[in-house]
Structure 1
Amino acid sequence: MRVLILLPPSEGKTAPASGPSLDLGSLLDAERLTSPRREVMSALTESSRRPDGPSILGLGPRSAELVEANLLLETSPCAPAYQLFTGVLYEAAGLDSIAKNTAGRKALEHHCVIFSGLWGILSPTDEVPDHRLSMGTSLPGPGRLPSFWKPHLAASLTDMAAQGLVVDCRSADYAAAWKPSVRDGVEIMTVRAVRIADDGSRKVISHMAKQARGLLTGELLRAVAGRTLPPEARADDVAALAARLSGVDDVEVSEADRQGRRVLTLVTR
């Protein structure tokens, strides 16, 4: 039994200036996932060479040059995913600082999974190159990536999450690639964030939601590493930890829906 945190990747990345080249055999659950990873890599490379490559990848004119990274996947320097991804969620989580000691690295490796349009899933410590491919993309060949990855990821993630608590911080496209089931003895908690406006209404703001999920992720991993969060932690334990986050005024935990999922709402102002 364990807590398993599910994260999206980050559009914001810091490409490493040096590092080892890609080793697919070292990535999370390589035995199951190397073949589909190669299939997506090949399709991505071919799409990135096409004149309409930026359009296929959903990139605007100002971002078109970013597709060049996809042509160098085999040779570009790699960095751990927790260093490569540098968007709002990852900045708030502070995974780099968590990874500086043995207990923190173990928490990252055993209690956190990053979803990826290109790699399917990653451990935060997996070393990968800079790339551009969102899960919402439809690639010639594999097709819609959530549909492509769903059958490949099911066995890996069901094993990882079995009899534990899943804290789901993913956005919709990434959530579509795998939906945990309570039939496997999993308790499921989806994290959302809302801001209370001056008129009392509630608004979901993407930037703030990413930051709140990042803060929660970092606190959970530090609690796991420091053994202040028990291995058998349940949804109420996560809610209690979330209530202590800076900038969070209140937390709400819904009743389980028909699929056994509960929603943790972080309320800010």
Structure 2
Amino acid sequence: MLVLLPPSETKADGGDGGPLDLDALSFPELNPLRRKLVDALVELSADVPASLAALGLSERQEDEVERNARLWAAPTTGALHRYTGVLYDALGAASFSKAELARAGGRLAVASALFGVVRAHDPIPAYRLSGGSTMPGFGTLRSLWRPALEPALAEVEGLVVDLRSGTYAALARVPGAVTVRVVTEDSSGKRKTVSHHNKAYKGKLAAALATSRSNPSTVDGVARVAAKAGIAVERTGERELELLTKA
């Protein structure tokens, strides 16, 4: 099973790994485009106003441009520890046991505007590039990534649980993946999509799937792992699940 997570805009600083080595990343077939984008971001960082405009940042976020300027020289750390924010707080990788970290390393992957997709322990630097960004001279990231990323993800063996947000799901389709919709139910039984706590609930589900001793290979298996972790999940389609939260 592979659980595809969305990235986060916020990322931890530093790391105890050496500089970025694309050959150390999973999905090596993506390296030509990765290198092209990293080089482009480094070059763009020399023009701070242009970087801010392309990345959708304010002048108070110039430090993000500095991060991009150091992409080839900055220290790295595993992707699971690089990304921060609501989903990753709920995931709680810092509290995983050694055995749980090993399972997570084989089951979790993170979508990335810069790297396409990386596995949990792939060493990456801090960077700033969003899935909705348009790099000058390159067009949309969707147009760049789809031709390379879709074939790479199609080669993944076993069940794929797709927890990506819409922006990152658009970078590459994964036919046959299990999708999860976080919903709440009112007193009349009507359900609606949860937006505010969506990331937190997906983080908890990802933690359950990443650390479970069983490695589900079916939609019903995913639901069983969730239920064992106290997460209410219902199957609503052939490859669709709804995660039911309290109103």
If the length of structure 2 is used for normalisation, what is the TM-score? 0.89
Deviation at 1:10, TM superposition (A): 1.3
After TM superposition, the structure 1 = structure 2 runs for residues 148-227 of structure 1, keeping only pairs within 5 Å, are: 148-160=144-156, 162=157, 164-182=158-176, 188-196=177-185, 202-223=191-212, 226=213
What letter matches 2:221 in structure 1? D
Name 2:33's counterpart in structure 1. Answer: 36
User: Unaligned regions of 5+ residues in structure 1, if any?
Assistant: 183-187
Quick one: distance in 2 between partners of 1:167 and 1:115?
Answer: 13
Deviations 1:212-263 (A, max 9, x none): 000000011111xx2xx245x31112123323445x5x4332123xxxx423
1:240 aligns with 2:224: yes
For residues 47 and 202 of structure 1, do their structure 2 counterparts lie closer, same or farther at Cα, with a shift above 3 Å needed?
Answer: farther
Q: Secondary structure at the match of 2:197?
A: helix
Deviations 1:190-221 (A, max 9, x none): 11212346787645443411000000000111
1:262 aligns with 2:240: yes
2:120 alignment partner, one of 124, 130, 151: 124
Name 1:110's counterpart in structure 2. Answer: 106
If the length of structure 1 is used for normalisation, what is the TM-score? 0.83
The answer to whether the 8 A contact 1:6-1:167 is kept is: yes
Quick one: distance in 2 between partners of 1:57 and 1:71?
Answer: 13
Q: Secondary structure at the match of 1:254?
A: strand
Name 1:185's counterpart in structure 2. Answer: none
For residues 16 and 254 of structure 1, do their structure 2 counterparts lie closer, same or farther at Cα, with a shift above 3 Å needed?
Answer: same
Deviations 1:77-136 (A, max 9, x none): 1111111111111111122333x42x4344233222111001111111011111111111
Quick one: distance in 2 between partners of 1:265 and 1:197?
Answer: 14
Quick one: distance in 2 between partners of 1:119 and 1:78?
Answer: 14
Quick one: distance in 1 between partners of 2:60 and 2:224?
Answer: 43
| CA RMSD after TM alignment | 2.2
What letter matches 2:235 in structure 1? V
Q: Secondary structure at the match of 2:132?
A: coil
Q: Secondary structure at the match of 1:115?
A: strand
Quick one: distance in 1 between partners of 2:59 and 2:228?
Answer: 43
Deviation at 1:268, TM superposition (A): 2.6
1:252 aligns with 2:234: yes
Quick one: distance in 2 between partners of 1:211 and 1:202?
Answer: 18
Aligned length: 246
Name 1:46's counterpart in structure 2. Answer: 43
